[in-house]
Amino acid sequence: MMAWPDRNQRREVSLPGPAGNLAATVETAAEASQGSAVICHPHPLHGGTRQNKVVTTLGRAARAAGFDTLRFDFRGVGDSEGEHDHGVGEQDDCRAAIAHAREASGGLPIVLMGFSFGAATALRVAGADGAKALVTVGLPAGYFEDKLPTPDCPWLAVHGSADEIADPEAARAALTGLMTPPQMHWMPEAGHFFHGRLGELKQVVSDFLLAEPV
């Protein structure tokens, strides 16, 4: 595996994954890195890719807080090899991306982020495998048949109150029902894709990362 590029640089890379190579974009923060943020994109069967505007906004937020970022395409998306695995194999794709980020950074902390389908994937991986911090945006609570997993790390959950895809009331009930609920930010009148609200989303996420002792 290769090291991160120099400060404030971007590089397109191909990572070894469990079902074949994964296409990814790595971007480094302008200043000395605090760690790495691995970012998961929305549903592959509904046009989700690492270029999604919420995903790229999460990347900007992480770099503003001093984290290098890795956005990757799940198996079967774009140039990533393999086939869609209904959220199961995608968790292993995420773990492969984490392993690359950890090695490339020399073992610095890993922050896990995800939007929509990617939020559900990130939550499952963070809960089972650990992360220094977790950010979920537009978490689809309906993807979980049982109670949501609870990661052992600081967790920010951002949701639009007018989300037309991931039911905000179902998400609120699932999140507040946890023994240790995450820090929650409900964005009034924001829809699932945060049209016109990406600047606000970036600030909320950056503030969380800057405030947490990651």
Which tokens hold the place of 169? 């009331």
Q: Mean pLDDT over residues 162-190, rounded? A: 95
Amino acid at 53: K
Check pLDDT > 70 for residue 155: yes
pLDDT in tens, 26-54: 999 998 889 999 999 999 999 999 999 99
Mean pLDDT of all residues in 156-178 = 96
Lowest pLDDT segment from 11-20, 141-150, 177-186, 199-208: 141-150
CB of 31 within 8 A of CB of 2?
Answer: no
More confident residue, 187 or 127: 187
Mean pLDDT confidence for 205-213: 90
Size of the chain, expressed as the number of residues it contains: 214
93: CB partners within 8 A, 6+ apart: 17, 18, 19, 22, 72, 74, 75, 80
- With beta carbons less than 8 A apart as the criterion, state whether 27 and 68 touch: yes
Residue 176 has pLDDT above 60, yes or no: yes
Give the CATH H-level superfamily of domain 10-211.
Alpha/Beta hydrolase fold, catalytic domain (3.40.50.1820)
pLDDT of residue 5: 87
CB-based contact 65:203 (threshold 8 Å)? no
Domains of the chain by residue range? 10-211
* Nearest CA-CA partner of 202 in 191, 187, 212, 213: 187
pLDDT of residue 116 exceeding 80: yes
- Residue carrying structure tokens 């009148």: 189
Which strand (E) or helix (H) includes residue 23? strand 20-27
HSE-CB of 173 using CA atoms within 13 angstroms: 9
Q: Answer yes or no: is pLDDT of 214 > 80.
A: no
Q: Is the pLDDT of residue 108 over 80?
A: yes
Distance between CA 69 and CA 110 in Å, rounded?
Answer: 10
Residue 163, number of CB atoms within 10 A of its CB: 23
